[in-house]
Structures are given as structure tokens and as C-alpha cells.
Amino acid sequence: MGSTLAGQILAAHLVSGTLSVGEEIAIRIDQTLTQDATGTMAYLQFEAMGVPRVRTEVSVSYVDHNMLQAGFENADDHRFLQSIARKYGIHFSRPGNGICHQVHLERFGAPGKTLLGSDSHTPTGGGVGMLAIGAGGLDVAVAMGGGAFYLTVPKILGVKLTGALQPWVSGKDVILEMLRRRSVKGGVGRIVEYYGPGVASLTVPQRATITNMGAELGATTSLFPSDDATRAFLESQGRGAVWTPLAADADADYDETLEIDLSTLVPLAAAPHSPDAVQPVADNAGTVVQQVCVGSCTNSSYYDLAIVAAVLRGKTVHPDVSLTVSPGSKQVYEMIAESGVLADLIASGARILESGCGPCIGMGQAPPSDSISVRTFNRNFPGRSGTASAGVFLVSPEVAAATALTGTLTDPRTLGALPAVRPFTGAANLADQLIEAPAADGSAVEIIRGPNIKPLPIHPGVPATLTGEVLLKVGDNITTDHIMPAGAKVLPLRSNIPAISQYVFERVDPTFPARAQTAGGGFVIGGANYGQGSSREHAALAPMYLGVTAVIVKSFARIHLANLINFGIIPLTFANEADYDRVAQGTRVTLPDIAARLRAGQPVVLELPDGTQLPLAHALTPRQVTIILAGGLLNSMREA
């Protein structure tokens, strides 16, 4: 049987291991990206390695998350990131240049390359045929230093696309359909690879929307072939020379397959409070809405904004709705200004925000209490919007525009014929004025550190036996937003672990940090898919700082599992899921002889106060065991 496209790229970048499902491999990374919410910590870790200059083909530091400057913290971090980039040979995308995934797709993405990013939506690059993977900042730091990226070989889920999208239906509806079918756990341990005759009908921005939001499936990554549409997109960026045709072999052997007839899809919406709570928009039509937000790394391309403007042209946003629009990049901003799209949006009453993540990560534009916000974003976890009592629907730009016009959740097909979008007839500004290219030699550059940037906490290492209190017990689908919230209050503290640790599990139990410190640390018990969502390693690093030594759950999300290992927290699962019910919060439990058992590959158990021993499981490789017992990856590298 032939090779899948993902298999071809993995094979071309294989450093060690064999390409067998379930086996650990190491791959070479061509490009990296960071954003400012994760980048400060990633670069502190890179500094700790003592490498004089990045060793990748391209590494880019973006400022797009912590854009609100209500205090000195974010502005100080931006200066730190700029000086780090100058010193170590990293491109620096300045504030205002745009969202990392949109800009990287435009200016750096290349078919067949590997990209590792300290953001879970890095798979956006799969829209141009990259193998683009989200990871924790420490993994990205290692890759910048020339180290390999380790992962367990995923299954390849082949999604055959046939037909073509009907009017008013978009790429967003394709990924929402995937979530409807597969759920937020349906991509765990898988790469999603799209193929088939329907692929040719999708533009690169549509493909990028689909691969971006594949992160909500829990997938390792998602990708499309590199074809004529890819070439046209790259040529529009003045980068046609990096194009190469790439596709799976005609007889590619996928581990799993499913088929989507694009012509049968209808406008869809993910209802509060999960990206997989997907229903046809028509099923919830009439729901009164107070806010509509267009943008994010999922839907902020030129067409995304132009279709919204086309729907609103000559009309006014409903008086009870606040509509915000965030262009994905400076390039997109300039394009909508030149074409007249921006004028249409402003005339309709839309509020234009800067090119950044903004409301998607709770950085401004929190909706009213007990309200409904309709957003073209990728996540609608409880409280992520900044308002705990608000409900968020995830929709396409077409649905968002119709809703902003009517004031209720609206199937855009009820508006009649699809309006004509203003074409962009000029040439995109490719000057990259806001991307600072690295100097040939940055050795004399001084790193600028504000008072909010604190040293990286160091794990003391794992003792022979672990005993402690069950500090918290939670259910299924706990997200990294639950563990380590985002938002305007918390994000500025990303480079200050002692300060940010006081917000761990704030949305679950605000007493957790104080209780953990009083108890001297302990354990967390969880359900299935623990740690889904963002790549933020702070969801492991801050609990480690508070003394969490092990997390025992039914199952883990991929990136969070890797982050726990990187920071020396032992990730274990119940061998019998029913044993989850036998462990209560507040109980004092023991992992007897845990260090020796892990080192020798012996069975691990959880001992209850009455002496009962519950069998536990893990899939740790010998390499990962060494990392954990050393107290994390940095400690392990120092000892090597």
C-alpha cells in the first residue's frame, strides 16, 4: 500500500524510531513559532540551555495575545521578547502585525516542512501542506536549540472530501461537522489528513480554518495536500518558489477513514459550552444574541471579513448587538482598507479591533452577564470569554454576519442569495515592515528584563515514595482553561510563575492554591480527556510550583500529557476506570516505591488509607521516565 502525506513528511524528518503506530519517534523540526503568552517562558528555558543561536531554518516570535497594556507587565514582556529575538537569531513579529497562525501561513508556511509552535492552533499550517504541531514551550525551546521533537506515532485518519460547498456554507462548517461526528476526543492519537476530489474546491484560508480547529478534536495535527490552490496562495504572497506539489499516494493506507460530501453540509454552530456541541444553526435559530465577534486565528482572512461586510453593506448592526471585527494580520487589514471592505464594516456599526487574538482568549470584549455571544472563534469553554455566566456559540463568518444583522442566531440562507464580496484587485503589501529579521550576530545584544519576569522554578526531583493529599477531584474534559485560566487578569503574569500560580484551578476551586501550599503539595484526580485545549505549559508548570506531584486520570490530552512530563509531574491513568469512584478529594494516598517501579518498568499502584491498592497504568517510555525522575526535561538535560 502507498504512503499517506503525513507519513511521507514524517519519514523525511525521522531522526530515530520506527514509523509504527504507538511507537515513540523523534523528528527534525524545520520551523518554530511562539506567541507572547507562551513565548516568555519558552525563551527563558531556551536561555537556560546555553545555546548561542537558534538552529532551525526559521524561528519566529509573535506578539498577538497579551496586547492590552493596562499595566507595565505586557509591555515589558514585549521588550524582553524583542531583545531575545535580536540576540538569538529569531524573527520578531511586532505588536499589530497580526495573529501568529495567520501571519505564519502568509509569510513563512511551506509545504512539506515541519513546524512546532507553542500554541495548540499551530496546525493552521496544515492548510499549505505543512506538518504543523502544537506543543509546550519547553519542547519548542529544545527544537530551537536543534533538538528533536518526540512524539508517539499517531494513527492517520483519512477524511475523503467529495462535492463542493453550497452558498452560505464555509470551511468552518466542515470542521464543525467533524466535531459533530467525532467529538473533542475523536482526534486523540491521530493525524487528520484530508484528501479526495472535494479538496480542490477549498481555498487555502478555508483549509487553514479546518486544520486550525482540528486542535479541538484533540488531533496531533491536520493537513491538506499541496496543490494548485496552494501554489496560487503562495504566489500571492510572493513566495511561489517554496511551493512543491505534495499528496498522499493514490493507494495510501489510512488507519481509519470517513467521508464528507461537502454539498450536503448546512450552516452549523457549536452551542455552549463545548466545540463539539454541534447542531444546525436552524435548530437554535431565534436565540437572542447580545454580542457577535468576528476574527481569531480560525476566521480572520480577507474573505472571512469581506463576506461579513457584504452581508452588512448598506445596513446597520442590530441595536442590541455589539459587533467586533479583528483582522488576522496587518496584510489583511490593509487589504480590507484598500478594497472598501473596512469602510462597509465601519458604516454598519462594527467595532474594529487591532490585529490580534483579543476576545478569543478573554483579552477584552467580555460579553454582558447572562448573555449570548456568537463568535467565529475555535473555543467556547465556560468563562473563556471573560464572563462566567455568558454562553458562546461558535459559527462561520456567514452566520455571524446574519446574526449581527438580525439580533438573533440566524441561518444565513434565510437572507436570500449570497451577496457579492468586494474583490481585492491590488497586490498585497509584502514588505513585512513589522517583522524584524534577525541580525547575523546578536552576541552583543543585552536582554531587557522587566520586574515581572521571574526565574524559572526548578523541580526538586521525584522521591522514592510519594505520599500526599488528593487536593482536587474533577470530572471529564477538564481544559487547560480550567487549570490555568487566560484573560486580561491572568495572562500578564505568564513570566511570573509564583504570581500566576495563585490562579491555578480558579474556575474550578479558587481555594486550590492556598490548600495546595498548606498541604505541601499532593495529587489531582481527573476523568477522561484531562487537559484538553491550549498548549499552555503553565497548566503544568504552575501546579508543579504549588507542589502537585502526580495527576491520576482516566485519560489525558496529548499536549498536556507532554507538558506534565516536561515538568516532572507523574501522569498516571486508572487501570480500571471504575476505580476513579473509589478515590475521594481530601484522602491521603500513597504511590509506594514509585521511583523504583517506574525505573524498572514494574506495575504502579495507588494505596488508599485502608491499605487497598488500586492498579495504575502509564505509557511512559524509558526516555520519559528518566525525564520525570530527574524532575523534568531541563533537569534531565543538565544531568546528561
> Residue 132 has what DSSP assignment?
E
- Check residue 246 and give its pLDDT: 98
Residue 441 CB burial class (10 angstroms; 0-12, 13-18, ≥19): exposed
Cα separation, 474 vs 143, in Å, equals 33
Given phi > 0 = left and psi -120 to 50 = alpha, else beta, which region is 632? left
Cβ of 305: how many Cβ atoms within 10 Å? Answer: 32
Given phi > 0 = left and psi -120 to 50 = alpha, else beta, which region is 470? beta
How confident is the model over 321-380, as pLDDT tens digits? 999 999 999 999 999 999 999 999 999 999 999 999 989 988 889 999 999 999 999 999
- Check residue 488 and give its pLDDT: 83
Domains recognised in the chain with CATH numbers: 5-264 (3.30.499.10), 268-415 (3.30.499.10), 466-639 (3.20.19.10)
How confident is the model over 49-92, as pLDDT tens digits? 999 999 999 999 999 998 888 889 999 999 999 999 999 999 99
Q: Half-sphere exposure of 468 toward its Cβ, with a 13 Å CA cutoff?
A: 24
Write down the pTM of the prediction: 0.94
State which residues of the chain have pLDDT below 50: none
Q: CA nearest 579: which of 600, 611, 605?
A: 605
- Check residue 214 and give its pLDDT: 97
Q: Please give the biggest Cα pair distance in the chain.
A: 75
Q: CA nearest 29: which of 148, 127, 135, 150?
A: 148
- The alpha carbons of the chain give a radius of gyration, in whole angstroms, of 24
How confident is the model over 509-549, as pLDDT tens digits? 999 999 999 999 999 999 999 999 888 899 999 999 999 99
In which residue are the cell numbers 471579513 written? 305
Return the C-alpha torsion angle 362, 364, 365, 369, nearest 10: 70
Write out the catalytic residue numbers: 64-65, 119, 379, 534, 536
- Check residue 640 and give its pLDDT: 63
Amino acid at 375: R
